């Protein structure tokens, strides 16, 4: 995402619109560190690979909004990793995302069905 005050191309805006929802979904499966979240999103969403800066900014916002909490894991042999975990507020937001996405899908289904019907009538004329 660009610096404050700059304009993001429409396709890029669309790519990041639901990024928090996908992050929350990944964290609903298990607490994991930011790099693992990025890896999971890249594997599960091959047509829309978010960059690491966008993921970490979204994680910071989610933490600021108390939807996730983090702690440092120093148990491994490498550097400490910040592990994120979903909170009750995060589960509630995930529910809200589900409702939003279901509504969007219904609207998109209406569009596609109506378009297909109109297109087939146009061919008959």
Instruction: Quick: pLDDT tens for 53-105.
Output: 999 999 999 999 999 999 999 988 889 999 999 999 999 999 999 999 999 99
State the pairing for strand pair 81-86/68-73: antiparallel
Q: Structure tokens of 62?
A: 């989610």
The pTM score is 0.80
pLDDT tier for residue 7 given thresholds of 50, 70 and 90:
low
List, edge to edge, every strand of the sheet that includes 81-86.
32-33, 81-86, 68-73
């Amino acid at each position: 995402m660009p610096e404050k005050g700059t304009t993001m191309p429409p396709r890029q805006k669309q790519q990041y619109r639901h990024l928090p929802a996908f992050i929350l979904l990944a964290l609903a499966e298990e607490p994991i560190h930011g790099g693992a979240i990025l890896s999971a999103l890249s594997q599960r969403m091959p047509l829309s690979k978010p960059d690491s800066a966008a993921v970490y900014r979204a994680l910071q916002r989610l933490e600021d909004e108390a939807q996730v909490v983090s702690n440092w894991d120093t148990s491994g042999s490498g550097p400490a990793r910040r592990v994120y975990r979903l909170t009750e507020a995060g589960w509630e937001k995930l529910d809200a995302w589900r409702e939003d996405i279901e509504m969007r899908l219904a609207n998109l289904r209406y569009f596609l069905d109506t378009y297909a019907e109109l297109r087939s009538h146009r061919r008959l004329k």
